[in-house]
Structure 1
């Protein structure tokens, strides 16, 4: 149920391309720059450490010929840089730099830059196909990531529910536990195979390339996946042992299948599995890495215990509601409360670490997704509050039923004991005198009948809808001779009556737990999306770097303008770089990105500038298409002020849209 719900929410909501956590914050030469002489090397600087591929940086000359650069390396030994050395004797013209690296949190990122030697020129350069992600590979990888998160929650949460909450065997939950283990095993194996094609932006067929798989296995994400598979193999041995102990325990005392050693081993395996996520995602990069990884592990474990436990509770409520006692529900309620506290504490820390400032809530994509998660968590807490209320009512009802059962049981015990004693005394008397024995037996029958009537009356309130006349009838039906068995008297099936009395409460609890479970899955999906979004702290660092470049007179502004022509796949965004952003001659570079955040080609792109305060314009930028990049180096802006950029994007022969955005010129 959990994995199916995750898939449905993914298909309905859409995952999109991961924004990743590293981003290019600078380059040398600067994007769009014109140099008097050829540079000796090319250096890219990122917001966090990155892993390099064999061809992470490729340079193409104006004639679309690859420039021999050799293998990429590091600038000054820094892990957040990538660098290649250029050969001597490069001709004048415009060169294209295509780059692709893997960020420290395992997400691949890519892009392209331009620089010119001497004077800008037309270029026939064609961007490499793997500069953007392969849609099928990316989609399969993202879907499998969702399944892996859900399977982890199922495996750890159901395990904790069986061991800590239920404390005994359950065939229904054991099957659910095995389903979680198998799903996580398959998802991890698929992720390991798809990791290479996902990093390189190639098709699914590359998953069968042994050289690609070999490279994956020595990378940090690959090692984390291999460790996860090894831990799952150990977990399989533990589950087999628990199952064997459970089968033996069914013949003896219930609840002995989870020994102390098994509990400790299961806890260590859970921490290890959660650690394979923390070691390969954003917690392993950035500031305060040890604290961040610890927080990430605790956050993931708390999520798994709560969400997986909800799945187990919901399964029992629907499949075997009569076996679920109020004490079990109360234990899970306390465990869920502890999980919520851990989630809140670790979530606050991770939010601070990712955002960096309050303004990032509204100014970055990370902040917007985080706000959506916070809203979902609030809804989840509301649903959890309803579940706790129903749990309290169920506990009160069970306590009242237990008190009635105890009183009735005491009355029945007294009646049976005294009835037996009377019969024992009657036998010797009968041997001495038949007439006296008949009198004693008559007295015994009257006394036992009276006690049975008292017992039934004491038990009467436990029966929903029972009347006084029914209680009296129960007393009248007592046999007229011999000892009376009051163990089931007046109540044919105690379990059925308990279930009948608690049915409204169990139904209410079932509905609230289902709502809590549904919202929890939504939180899980949003969390998975959040792990693939550029944090606000990194976005602020990029903005600061851009501002520094603008102060140096290189690039004054980088503006992103979204567009949508109203057709399928007819939406995206255009990034416009204006430099130096001052009065006089300026250069413009525009790049169109499609729905998948990859660079897209369009048949026409027009850009004009208007200074409405002075009634100047529109001034046509006269952009020229240079193989996916639209550029001009001769835009004259006569006055400072707030200029309006009007952008027209045509995606087909008949589909186009015009959008506007302002830019300040100094």
Structure 2
């Protein structure tokens, strides 16, 4: 077996392992950087009796961080009982309903589908408010150093990617045969090393980033949870692809290789590019297939453009002779133009998906970072256009020096763009942040009504025209949770001639049901709820809900 065949088989084996890893990776529903949109009991509400559960509803599906959801009683003790139940975006926390009167504190930390932690707290009161308790056992507070380290690791990964791609691409297609390859080879191995380091660092940092704690708070349990997630699978696949690519990279860096090796290396690189969007926002966007593809195109175009600039400014403009540059520069100019066009197109599609609304573009941190990136990109495109003019005027005196200055100016600006990008991927997408802001300004309606069979706690959130969530809690007349066998509910607006509309209800526990209803107009809506507690016992209560 020849050495070339062994290299190809090793690379193909790495690709096969990668495909298998992708197939067995945990499936995650399409979702995004989740935000808390409603709670039951609602934040700051005063309930007549203690609930048997606390329900948190997020904008998207979330995953559990072990031990990071707590309900603290007024006396500082734990009021939650047992493990929370996760059902898509709904988290149900069992609570002792016989707890004391006063204010309860709910703290939470969960993981959204794009691998970012979501944490927060709210209070509710039973009977009457009291000074809120303190969660003395909460150790989930994020260390700011961890957040910075995660961004630095991503920046290092981007730098490694462009160094590796630029060196490999130029050596494969544009490098003059007479020039030694030692410098570009060192650059490529440096890029590979930075990529591997950033990938491992990203895996390790994800543990304290998701569960809280400092940089070195990496436990076996936490690491196992990260490796078992889509984020972990994507990073392990990337490491496997880097190892497989190394077998074909060595002969390429030493001299020209055959077309088959280049094709295999290109396949490995394309698959590796997909691991970035699969571990971040794109895989959790409203259009995940589109987002993953355009993000990979965006990243690949960036690597080709900037990596080529590094090779051009660091080696070719200094070492190639006039005849070689006359052949290389026009080809590179076309490559750069195509890469910039792909960057612009992919970036536009990404922005439309992630920003969603014009108000979110200026009203959220994510949107403002996108605007900053656009401004910087416009500057670097201007410098690139100047470089293309220099390519067309190769006969002008001193043009190599001018081109080197233009190339380093492009790289200087794009280094800032990469830093903005590293921050951007760690920021809540504008579409989610906009949802969070809208939810924060909304109100809610809550009341308790009594029938001969039971008392019913009714919650409507946000009690505004449009989509509303309703929650019903049934209690016996002595304030104990009362099992309900069947729920029915309707809502009507007689003043506007709107007949009763049936509300589809989903029982969450024996005494708790929830539903969603779109209220088309403001007004005093009549909400009727029928709860059947036995085969023959049922009662109906009616509540007037002011919708403004």
Shorter-chain TM-score above 0.5: yes
Aligned equivalent of 2:347: 347
For residues 102 and 319 of structure 1, do their structure 2 counterparts lie closer, same or farther at Cα, with a shift above 3 Å needed?
farther
Root-mean-square deviation (CA, aligned residues, Å) is: 2.4
Separation in 2 of the partners of 1:135 and 1:360? 26
Aligned equivalent of 1:271: 270
In the TM superposition, what is the alpha-carbon distance from 1:282 to its structure 2 partner?
A: 0.5
Separation in 1 of the partners of 2:174 and 2:320? 15
Partners of 1:321 and 1:506 within 8 A in 2: no
Structure 1 gap ranges (5+): 1-19, 247-256, 398-501, 555-578, 582-665
5 Å-filtered alignment, 1:44-59, equals 44-59=56-71
SS of the residue 2:93 aligns to:
strand
In the TM superposition, what is the alpha-carbon distance from 1:129 to its structure 2 partner?
A: 4.7
Separation in 2 of the partners of 1:326 and 1:108? 52
Aligned equivalent of 2:520: none
In the TM superposition, what is the alpha-carbon distance from 1:580 to its structure 2 partner?
A: 11
SS of the residue 2:358 aligns to:
coil
Is 2:429 aligned against 1:526? no
5 Å-filtered alignment, 1:440-451, equals none
Is 2:194 aligned against 1:183? yes
In the TM superposition, what is the alpha-carbon distance from 1:359 to its structure 2 partner?
A: 2.2
Aligned equivalent of 1:170: 181
In the TM superposition, what is the alpha-carbon distance from 1:41 to its structure 2 partner?
A: 1.7
Q: Could you tell which deviates more after superposition, 164-173 or 38-47?
A: 164-173
Aligned equivalent of 1:215: 225
Partners of 1:21 and 1:535 within 8 A in 2: yes
Separation in 1 of the partners of 2:279 and 2:114? 5
Alignment deviations for residues 70-109 of structure 1 (CA, whole Å, 9 cap, x no partner): 22222xx32x232222133222111111111122222212
Separation in 2 of the partners of 1:190 and 1:544? 36
Is 2:240 aligned against 1:230? yes
Q: Could you tell which deviates more after superposition, 268-277 or 164-173?
A: 164-173
Aligned equivalent of 1:93: 102
Partners of 1:317 and 1:506 within 8 A in 2: no
Separation in 1 of the partners of 2:311 and 2:71? 55
In the TM superposition, what is the alpha-carbon distance from 1:503 to its structure 2 partner?
A: 6.7
Alignment deviations for residues 357-409 of structure 1 (CA, whole Å, 9 cap, x no partner): 22222222222111111110110110001111111112xx3xxxxxxxxxxxx
For residues 220 and 69 of structure 1, do their structure 2 counterparts lie closer, same or farther at Cα, with a shift above 3 Å needed?
farther
**If the length of structure 1 is used for normalisation, what is the TM-score?**
0.59
Aligned equivalent of 2:49: 37
Alignment deviations for residues 113-150 of structure 1 (CA, whole Å, 9 cap, x no partner): 11111111123413655343112333222211211121
Partners of 1:56 and 1:72 within 8 A in 2: no
Question: Please, which of 203, 210, 221 is the counterpart of residue 199 of structure 1?
Answer: 210
Separation in 2 of the partners of 1:140 and 1:536? 23
Is 2:515 aligned against 1:504? no
Separation in 2 of the partners of 1:216 and 1:194? 10
In the TM superposition, what is the alpha-carbon distance from 1:317 to its structure 2 partner?
A: 4.7
Structure 2 gap ranges (5+): 1-31, 448-460, 464-547
Separation in 2 of the partners of 1:205 and 1:367? 32
Alignment deviations for residues 318-377 of structure 1 (CA, whole Å, 9 cap, x no partner): 652548522212211111111111111111111111111222222222221111111101
Aligned equivalent of 2:144: 135
In the TM superposition, what is the alpha-carbon distance from 1:552 to its structure 2 partner?
A: 4.1
Is 2:285 aligned against 1:391? no
For residues 280 and 343 of structure 1, do their structure 2 counterparts lie closer, same or farther at Cα, with a shift above 3 Å needed?
same
In the TM superposition, what is the alpha-carbon distance from 1:63 to its structure 2 partner?
A: 2.0
State how many pairs are aligned: 417
Is 2:434 aligned against 1:540? yes
Partners of 1:161 and 1:312 within 8 A in 2: yes
Is 2:143 aligned against 1:110? no
Partners of 1:32 and 1:113 within 8 A in 2: yes
Alignment deviations for residues 243-299 of structure 1 (CA, whole Å, 9 cap, x no partner): 45x2xxxxxxxxxx2321122122212222211111110001131111111111111
For residues 62 and 156 of structure 1, do their structure 2 counterparts lie closer, same or farther at Cα, with a shift above 3 Å needed?
same
In the TM superposition, what is the alpha-carbon distance from 1:45 to its structure 2 partner?
A: 2.1
Partners of 1:158 and 1:305 within 8 A in 2: no
In the TM superposition, what is the alpha-carbon distance from 1:165 to its structure 2 partner?
A: 3.1
For residues 130 and 336 of structure 1, do their structure 2 counterparts lie closer, same or farther at Cα, with a shift above 3 Å needed?
farther
**If the length of structure 2 is used for normalisation, what is the TM-score?**
0.72
Partners of 2:105 and 2:133 within 8 A in 1: no
Alignment deviations for residues 181-205 of structure 1 (CA, whole Å, 9 cap, x no partner): 0111111112222221221111233
For residues 380 and 73 of structure 1, do their structure 2 counterparts lie closer, same or farther at Cα, with a shift above 3 Å needed?
same
Aligned equivalent of 1:550: 443
SS of the residue 2:393 aligns to:
helix
Partners of 2:151 and 2:422 within 8 A in 1: no
SS of the residue 1:51 aligns to:
strand
SS of the residue 1:113 aligns to:
strand
